[in-house]
């Protein structure tokens, strides 16, 4: 694989690689029904590079020819009350902040359409979702919301849009510079359009050595520095950036045209700060992986029944490093649509929480600590009290 030696965000050649993982499954949320298919998912090297010009971090070994999104995938999060409360609060706050009522909302990469429906219901808005992987399915129909099963391109600028939303999509896009440029070009005549983007925050990953949040489907990793700079470079005015969800998610609000002005000066990390985070990550990541390796081996020696709670990409990110130890027996997920499926590249089958009633695990490794209370409550109701280790 030819390494990408120029930053996909700003095209600078001033990049350095700082982390490599080998044999990483190239997919993590694709729907797979058999063990054989799951373990046949190709594995490739994953290399993180840091651009010293704009602060962007990306997988410089990324293979852009892989089709990730047209074969069915499963990433709905709305089965958790904690998540539903979070997304409702964030959306209502965004509506109130910019008076987004009776407006046209366009969502790029809308998935199954949960968020688009929510913002349309809360603000009595009209919505169009553009996503090549959209599957008409699970939501109760809303006559104000429609979907277009395509990749976003310049022609979609003709669709009505007062607000463009794009959540958890940009980190899947390799050519971030051209993608944001396309969005800017699609907005004609300096029309006033507000943007809301949401991506995982790489700063948190670097600070806590969160290797489970590094996986192949995410080829682009943002700090508020690199995210803000990407939009500024392409002719947007950045209004605000902030993190939410225990600093896991990074938000950016930006605009074109019109009279909305930022009330606060957007604070950005400096390149020096980001370099320090990276230096610390490089210093500590092997120790972090080594400790987990030892902990899991210890559990194996003690014949402990260990399960992971929380499927999806984090479980793939975690098991990529430790599946060969054969310590984790099962992966639990509350999303009924993935139960019974097999984890891409790993081959473990998803089970539902009720499975634990019989299985009686000794230890549960929770892939996202934000759900700890929700999980504890569910275990308590099943009269289970395993050790919980939260990432």
Residues of the shown chain interacting with Zn ion in the complex, contacts defined by CB under 5 A: 7, 9-10, 12, 51, 53-54, 56
Minimum distance from residue 5 beta carbon to Zn ion (Å): 12
Dist. CA 219–CA 175, nearest whole Å? 10
Q: Left (φ > 0), alpha (ψ -120 to 50) or beta: where does 347 sit?
A: left
Q: What angle do CA 327, 75, 314 make, to 5 degrees?
A: 35
Dist. CA 291–CA 297, nearest whole Å? 10
Dist. CA 39–CA 32, nearest whole Å? 10
Closest to Zn ion by CB, 10 or 375: 10
Closest to Zn ion by CB, 17 or 154: 17
Tell me how far CA of residue 390 lies from CA of 181, 277, 281, 311, 385, in angstroms. Answer: 39, 22, 20, 14, 15
Six-digit token pair at 85?
């409360």
Closest to Zn ion by CB, 48 or 163: 48
Minimum distance from residue 247 beta carbon to Zn ion (Å): 23
Closest to Zn ion by CB, 144 or 273: 273
Q: Give 252's strand partners.
A: 197, 241
- Helix 176-186 and helix 224-233, axial crossing angle in degrees, nearest 10: 50
Closest to Zn ion by CB, 31 or 53: 53
The secondary structure of 90-133, three-state, reads HHHHHHHHHCCCCCEEEEECCCCCHHHHHHHHHHCCEEEEECCC
Minimum distance from residue 57 beta carbon to Zn ion (Å): 9
Closest to Zn ion by CB, 223 or 341: 223
Minimum distance from residue 56 beta carbon to Zn ion (Å): 4
Minimum distance from residue 303 beta carbon to Zn ion (Å): 49
Minimum distance from residue 183 beta carbon to Zn ion (Å): 18
Minimum distance from residue 4 beta carbon to Zn ion (Å): 11
Closest to Zn ion by CB, 56 or 212: 56
Minimum distance from residue 229 beta carbon to Zn ion (Å): 8
Minimum distance from residue 274 beta carbon to Zn ion (Å): 11
Six-digit token pair at 74?
């499963």
Q: Provide CB contacts within 8 A for 325, sequence distance 6+.
A: 293, 296, 297, 300
Dist. CA 249–CA 227, nearest whole Å? 12
Closest to Zn ion by CB, 13 or 382: 13
Closest to Zn ion by CB, 206 or 328: 206
Dist. CA 170–CA 363, nearest whole Å? 35
Collapsing DSSP to helix, strand or coil, 309 comes out as strand
- Pairing of the two strands 126-130 and 145-148: parallel
């Amino acid at each position: 694989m030819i390494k990408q030696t120029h930053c996909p965000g700003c095209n600078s050649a001033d990049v350095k690689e700082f982390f490599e993982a080998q044999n990483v499954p190239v997919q993590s949320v694709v729907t797979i029904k058999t063990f054989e298919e799951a373990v046949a998912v190709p594995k490739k090297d994953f290399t993180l590079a840091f651009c010293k010009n704009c602060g962007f971090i990306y997988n410089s070994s990324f293979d852009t020819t892989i089709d990730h999104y047209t074969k069915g995938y499963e990433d709905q999060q709305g089965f958790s009350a904690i998540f539903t409360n979070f997304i409702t609060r964030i959306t209502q706050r965004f509506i109130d902040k910019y008076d987004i009522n009776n407006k046209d909302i366009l969502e790029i990469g809308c998935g199954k359409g949960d968020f688009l429906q929510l913002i349309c219901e809360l603000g009595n808005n009209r919505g169009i979702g553009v996503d090549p992987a959209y599957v008409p399915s699970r939501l109760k129909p809303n006559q104000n919301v429609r979907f277009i099963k395509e990749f976003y391109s310049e022609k979609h600028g003709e669709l009505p849009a007062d607000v463009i939303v794009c959540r958890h999509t940009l980190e899947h896009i390799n050519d971030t510079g051209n993608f944001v440029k396309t969005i800017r070009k699609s907005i004609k005549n300096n029309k006033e359009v507000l943007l809301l983007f949401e991506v995982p925050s790489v700063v948190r990953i670097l600070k806590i050595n969160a290797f489970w949040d590094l996986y192949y489907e995410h080829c682009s990793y943002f700090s508020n520095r690199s995210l803000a700079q990407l939009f500024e470079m392409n002719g947007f005015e950045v209004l605000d950036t902030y993190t939410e969800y225990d600093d896991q998610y990074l938000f950016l609000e930006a605009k074109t045209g019109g009279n909305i002005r930022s009330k606060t000066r957007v604070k950005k990390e400096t390149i020096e700060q980001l370099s320090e985070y990276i230096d610390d990550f490089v210093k500590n990541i092997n120790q972090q992986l080594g400790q987990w390796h030892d902990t899991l081996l210890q559990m194996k020696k003690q014949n402990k029944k260990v399960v992971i709670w929380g499927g999806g990409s984090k479980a793939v990110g975690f098991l990529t490093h430790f599946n060969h130890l054969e310590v984790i027996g099962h992966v639990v997920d509350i999303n009924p649509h993935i139960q019974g499926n097999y984890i891409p590249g790993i081959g473990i089958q998803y089970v539902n929480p009720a499975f634990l009633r019989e299985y009686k695990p000794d230890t549960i490794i929770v892939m996202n600590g934000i759900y700890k209370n929700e999980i504890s409550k569910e275990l308590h109701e099943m009269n289970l009290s395993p050790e919980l280790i939260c990432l």
